[in-house]
Amino acid sequence: MTGTPTAPVLLPPNQFPHFYRGGDRIGALRGGPGGPMRPEEWIGSTVTRAGEENSGLSVLPDGRLLRDAVAADPLGWLGPDHLTAFGPSTELLVKLLDPDQRLPVHFHPDKAFARRHLALDHGKTEAWIVLAAPDGAGVGLGFAQAMTKAQVLDMVTRRDSAALLAALHRRTVSAGDTILVPAGTPHAIDAGVFVLELQEPTDLSALLEWDGFAVDGERDGHLGLGFPTVLDALRLDPLPAAERDALVRATGITGGAARDLLTDRADGYFRATLVPGAGRVDAGIAVALVLDGAGQVRTERGDVLAVGRGAAFVIAWAAGPWEVQDADVVVCRPPLPGPARSAT
């Protein structure tokens, strides 16, 4: 394969080690190696893990890195409208997260902080599509009460994990729930909550706790800035109930008609659409995961890709419009240019 493909391209599994336990459900779904310390897969990734040369990058079946293929022909992969709005960045990173232990309380900086302190064009707003969750499992989303920077810094310094976790607003989740997590919002995810995550294309995480995890938070938990500086990116006031509710949807991930999975507030960062069984998708770069079924992806050019549960694929703008037949597919796409201009 050379040049820009005009057919959908299957993505091989891309699991790799991380600092928390998990990964067996990813391995079972995607045919990867599974756990016990590979709780993430990066799908359609053109970015690396922080500080690493290649880890995290997606490889195409012909051996090229997706990053390099896009760089070689950004017009074919991204299309003229995307290039005008965003340049040669795909503007998207998709992940599977399969934690066998609770994720630590952490947060991500926004675009403005990332530009000012890290010389990066993106922060890390993210969204979770819950694929499975144990009964009663949930997430922490924002502080439950107003905090001060001094209070948070004190808990971090004392390594008071219990107090940090207790400070979060808790929300139970079920399969089919989706949650937008704005940059700056402290959050955590319970063990067993299996999610498909969309995010800005960076690897920027600041840890507020790390006991019980295979990471040195005092060294690696603050993006190299020190906690007094990185905490300036943390939202200290609680999300008002109306705002918090506006971040959450319960659209379901099976049956029904094609539908947007995320709140409209996500449109400036990324988009996710469920195509259940059959449906048409407009031209544009997309990263997709098949949740169920055994069917086909067919372009208007006549190219056909057979897909089944667990298949992940990327499709370039040059492929034109395409359709799904006999499979439930989550289609992940970059932001809309208009909302992206006001995204922080």
Q: Is residue 255 part of a domain?
A: no
| Tokens (6 digits) for 295 | 């069917």
Q: Are residues 289 and 155 in the same domain?
A: no
Q: Are residues 157 and 31 in the same domain?
A: yes
Burial-class residue 148 by CB neighbours within 10 Å (0-12, 13-18, 19+): exposed
Structural domain count of the chain: 2
Length of the chain, in residues: 344
Query: Using one digit for the tens of pLDDT, what is the confidence trace for 236-267?
Result: 999 999 999 999 999 999 999 999 999 999 99
Query: Using one digit for the tens of pLDDT, what is the confidence trace for 154-176?
Result: 999 999 999 999 999 999 999 99
Q: Are residues 242 and 299 in the same domain?
A: no
2: confidence class by pLDDT, cuts 50, 70, 90: low
Q: Is residue 342 part of a domain?
A: no
Structural domain span for residue 231: 12-250
Separation of CA 29 from chain center: 17
Q: Is residue 319 part of a domain?
A: yes
Quote the Cα angle for 53-318-129, to 5°.
60
> What is the amino acid identity at position 18?
H
Last residue within a domain, chosen from 228, 250, 272: 250
Query: Using one digit for the tens of pLDDT, what is the confidence trace for 26-37?
Result: 999 999 999 999
Query: Mapping DSSP to helix (H, G, I), strand (E, B) and coil, where does residue 41 land?
Result: strand
What is the structure's pLDDT at 23? 98
Output 6 or 264, whichever has higher pLDDT: 264
Query: Using one digit for the tens of pLDDT, what is the confidence trace for 125-159?
Result: 999 999 999 999 999 999 999 999 999 999 999 99
Q: 1 pLDDT exceeds 70? A: no
87: confidence class by pLDDT, cuts 50, 70, 90: very high
CATH number of 317's domain = 2.60.120.10
Q: Are residues 147 and 57 in the same domain?
A: yes
Last residue within a domain, chosen from 250, 278, 311: 250
Cross-strand pairs, 315: 286
Q: Are residues 95 and 232 in the same domain?
A: yes
